[in-house]
Amino acid sequence: MSARNWWIERAALPLERLKRGLQTSWRTVRELTGDDAYERYLAHHAACHGGELPLDRAAWFKQEQQRKWDGVRRCC
Amino acid sequence: MLMATNSPSASFMRLLGFLLWPAVALLGAAALGGIALNRGESINSLWLIVAALCVYALGYRFYSAFVAAKVLMLDATRATPAERLADGRDFIPTHRWIVFGHHFAAIAGPGPLVGPTLAAQFGYLPGTLWILLGAVLGGCVQDFVILFCSIRRNGRSLGQMARDELGMIGGAAALMGVLAIMIILIAVLGLVVVNAMRHSPWATSTVAATIPIAMLIGLYMRNLRPGRVIEGSLLGFALLVLAVVGGGWIDESAALRTWFDYDGPPLALLVIGYGFVAAVLPVWLLLAPRDYLSTFMKIGTIVALALAIVVLRPEIRMPALTQFIDGSGPVFGGKIFPFVFITIACGAISGFHALIASGTTPKLLANEQDCRFIGYGAMAMESFVAIMAMIAACVLEPGLYFAINSPAGLVGAEPAQAVATISSWGYPVTVEQMAELARQMGETSLFARTGGAPSLAVGMASIFASAFGGQLLALWYHFAIMFEALFILTTVDAGTRVARFMLQDLLGNVVPALGRTSWYPSVILCSALVVLGWGYFLYNGTIDPLGGINSLWPLFGIANQMLAAIALCVATTIIVKSGRAHHAWVTAAPLAWLVIITTTAAWEKLFSPELRVGFIAHANDLAAQIANGSIAGAAVAQTERLIFNDQLDAALTAFFLLVSWIVVIETVRVCLAYLQGRSCPTFTETPYERAQLVD
């Protein structure tokens, strides 16, 4: 490896790490908030019920929200 | 665990490990000793933080490890319900940090903020010690063990487990207990919000604005941008901040402010009406978006408060102990034993958590071993929230704290009279000081604002304003009020809904049509019954001269601790039946303590001759006053209502006492039957299946 490339790689490394770190955090935030729930549903659907057509985003969200509140979800 | 490596770095790490925990123990002991033995001089809040963190770290590292390995025998190779029953909806194997986040957001409500604020009347020490010890030995263990039990039973709920393991009687008692606690919980939380909004146009208009904001976000997330939760929540947050600022403008306008200026009883009626509407509206329109907003707000504010306390390290002004440990305290009546343990339920041990730990959480865990981190760990974190609330209450000058939290019926309705009474207790405060504080906070008066929310908001506002700069005390104050109201109202909505389901379930046994949860007449009827139930207690709380909190909060505490006792009964039975009776003390000891404190407290609430403690004594005293003519005219009707209310509270207390003893006796019976080899409900653990998921 030439000296110049070595330096470029050294310089890129923290940036690369930062980028990956930010991506991971963003994914975590989306998962924590349930922002990616529809994507997860699609993945599950494709894996387990491949033959049927999945619900679209709006229909799925409506159904989920109604279902989620049929139990104890919040505490004192 | 791999311990065989002998490389120099591994040895060094092991040495560090050996030194770390004794150091944590020493530091924790020094901090605890410091706060316990400190007299006279004020103490820095950092001591409380350090003591708390060390206690949690030690409890987690050693005690929860013991419970995990020896008592429950967690097995990482055993498939969890999330894996075995994965359906992509309820049962979803989820990363442990995500589950932790969901679980913490679900268990952390307004309880750990209000309880410590009220218990600060005994001084900072009793409440702090109970929060720490109650959590590591009681509350965290309860959440952990119940989560474990539910995981080993396909994610069954506490009520179902009680029925399975204790039999029909225990199960029915648990169900009734949950319904009763729900009613009292909603009433008392509603009262906290009402007291925060009383004659405060700024607070009232801001809280009112949260309703259309939630609806707007509901529409946004359903129709405009379906499922875009982060976008919707950020938009909602911006609108909420605008509502806080806008409340200030309304407050300044002489014409607009009268629209939002109400006394307690009309506000109670408004909250009751709101509760009913929220219960019958579809969830996507109000409940679900409000929950998103309140969860964001809750986590954000708690983190900000922790940062602010660490940055600012405010001095604690409240003494370690006050003279009110003798039971004469103005915030609520009753001696330090048992009432400090009743007043602080959430934050030390909260039975309600058992419903969450046997609800959504067990259906998400991918690895059984994470029970410890999520059950024990999340409760330790909630306990830390309670410690911060205690700090926020105790950084106020005690005179101010008592002036805000003492009901007018006790210290006098006139400011001069109130400050004279409070100063005579040794906590000097002046009318000018109170007026200046109210002016800074943008309120007309802060006297007799019982319920804990206003004094917590004053404490939080002063901490936030000092830590993050600026002189925006009034904005911070109303931000804190909005934050508290937001998730109290979420609990009101969600609690009403759950209580409605339970009622429908119960009534469905008699009239099957009423059991259909989506049949609109049944929804309306059962929602109305539930709202009337808590609404009754809420309304009467606002007309009570002693402030309502005085009678309702202990009732709530007793109910919540009773539910914890039921949960620990189920847990103890399961541990005994799993063949590890010699370890059953892990849940039996906190259970015994809870039975002692709830029984003593319930007994005192029933039979104490002290008027502010005993419901019956208070009712008799009022009746005697009517009889001898010292209460006459228009006041008679209201007094008769107070008498009836006392009698109702007494009946409810007796009911709680009865339910908890029935469950305890059933537990003893079932455990003895098992140990003696007689017949008893069978052990219902699902059989072992090997986990396939690679974590």
Residues 6+ apart with CB under 8 A from B613: B327, B333, B334, B604, B605
- Look at residue B3 in the predicted model and tell me its pLDDT: 46
Residue type, B551: S
**Among A57-71, B295-309, B398-412, which stretch is predicted with the lowest mean pLDDT?**
A57-71
- With contact defined as beta carbons under 8 Å apart, do B544 and B551 qualify? yes
Residue B81 has pLDDT above 60, yes or no: yes
- 3-state per-residue secondary structure call for chain A: CCHHHHHHHHHHHHHHHHHHHHHHHHHHHHHHHCCCHHHHHHHHHHHHCCCCCCCCHHHHHHHHHHHHCCCCCCCC
Query: What is the band of B18 on the pLDDT scale with cuts at 50, 70, 90?
Result: confident
How many CB pairs lie under 8 A apart between chains A and B? 106
Cβ separation of B287 and A69 shorter than 8 Å?
yes
pLDDT band at B112 (very low <50, low <70, confident <90, very high): very high
Q: Does B160 touch chain A (CB under 8 A)?
A: no
SS3 track for B213-227: HHHHHHHHHHHHCCC
Q: Rounded distance, CA B447 to CA B437, Å?
A: 10
pLDDT in tens, B213-233: 999 999 999 889 988 889 999
A26 touches B: beta carbon within 8 Å: no
Alpha helices, DSSP H only, in B224-361?
A: 229-252, 254-257, 264-280, 287-312, 336-343, 352-357
Q: CB–CB of B164/B153 below 8 Å?
A: yes
| pLDDT of A1 | 55
Torsion of Cα atoms, B297 then B303 then B309 then B311, to 10° = -120
> For B252-266, B311-325, B400-414, B681-695, which range has the lowest pLDDT when averaged over its residues?
B681-695
Select from B88, B92, B228 the Cβ nearest to the Cβ of A35.
B228
Q: Whats the size of chain B, residue-wise?
A: 695
Question: Nearest CA to B540 among B669, B639, B661?
Answer: B639
The one-letter amino acid code at B40 reads G
Terminal CA-CA length for chain B: 16
* Residue B38 pLDDT: 77
Specify the pLDDT at position B92. 86
Tell me the pLDDT band of A69, cut-offs 50, 70 and 90.
confident
Name the residue with tokens 């004794």. Answer: B22
Distance from C-alpha of B89 to C-alpha of B240, rounded to nearest angstrom = 31
**In which residue are the tokens 């080899």 written?**
B677
Q: How confident is residue B694, by pLDDT bands cut at 50, 70 and 90? A: low
- B509 within 8 A of B515, measured Cβ to Cβ: yes
Nearest CA among B297, B275, B221 for reference residue B494: B275
- Can you tell me the distance from the alpha carbon of B591 to that of B575, in angstroms, rounded to the nearest whole number? 13
pLDDT for B531-546, tens place per residue?
A: 999 999 999 999 888 8
Find the distance separating the first CA and the last CA of chain A, reported in whole Å. Answer: 61
B256-270, B427-441, B510-524, B530-544: the lowest-pLDDT one: B510-524
Average pLDDT over residues B545-573: 91
pLDDT in tens, B621-643: 999 999 998 888 888 988 898 89
A1-10, B305-314, B366-375: the lowest-pLDDT one = A1-10
Please identify among residues 167-226 of chain B the ones whose CB lies closer than 8 Å to any CB of chain A.
185, 189, 221-223, 226
| Span A31-60, average pLDDT | 84
C-alpha to C-alpha distances, B239 to B460, B468, B526, B552, nearest whole angstrom: 21, 21, 33, 34
- Beta-carbon-side half-sphere exposure of residue B338 (alpha carbons within 13 Å): 21
Give the domain ranges of chain B.
21-143+154-199+262-355+367-675
Q: How far is B297 from chain A (nearest CA, A)?
A: 13
pLDDT of residue B469: 65
Taking contacts as CB-CB distances below 8 angstroms, the residues of chain A near B360 are 71, 73
Statement: residue B389 has pLDDT above 50: yes
Task: Supply the ipTM of this predicted assembly.
Answer: 0.79
Nearest to B139 by CA among B283, B346, B404: B346
Spatial separation of the C-alpha atoms in residues B602 and B596, rounded to whole Å:
10
Asked whether the predicted pLDDT for residue B193 surpasses 70, the reply is yes
Helix or strand holding residue B31 (H, E): helix B8-37
Q: Is A52 on the interface with B (CB under 8 A)?
A: no
Instruction: Enter the tokens of residue B130.
Output: 């109970």
Please tell me the predicted confidence (pLDDT) of residue B471: 65
pLDDT band per the 50, 70, 90 thresholds, residue B617:
very high
pLDDT at B470 over 70: no
For residue B608, give every residue at least 6 positions away whose Cβ sits within 8 Å of its Cβ, in sequence order, or none. B614, B617
- SS3 (DSSP) at B315: strand
* A3 shares contact with chain B (CB less than 8 Å): no
Contact at CB, A76 and B350, closer than 8 angstroms: yes
CB–CB of A60 and B227 under 8 A? yes
Measure the CA–CA gap between A75 and B105, rounded to whole angstroms. Answer: 9
Q: Is the pLDDT of residue B598 over 60?
A: yes
Work out the mean pLDDT of chain B and round it to a whole number. 91
pLDDT of residue B2: 45
Average pLDDT on A43-67 reads 82
CB atoms inside a 10 Å sphere around CB B682: 10
Is the link from the previous residue into B609 a cis peptide, with omega within 30 of 0? no
CA distance B298 to B112: 12
Q: How many CB atoms lie within 10 A of CB B157?
A: 20
Place of tokens 């801001």: B206
What is the average per-residue pLDDT within B145-161? 94
Token pair for A15: 């940036």
On whether any CB of chain B is under 8 Å from the CB of A10, the answer is no
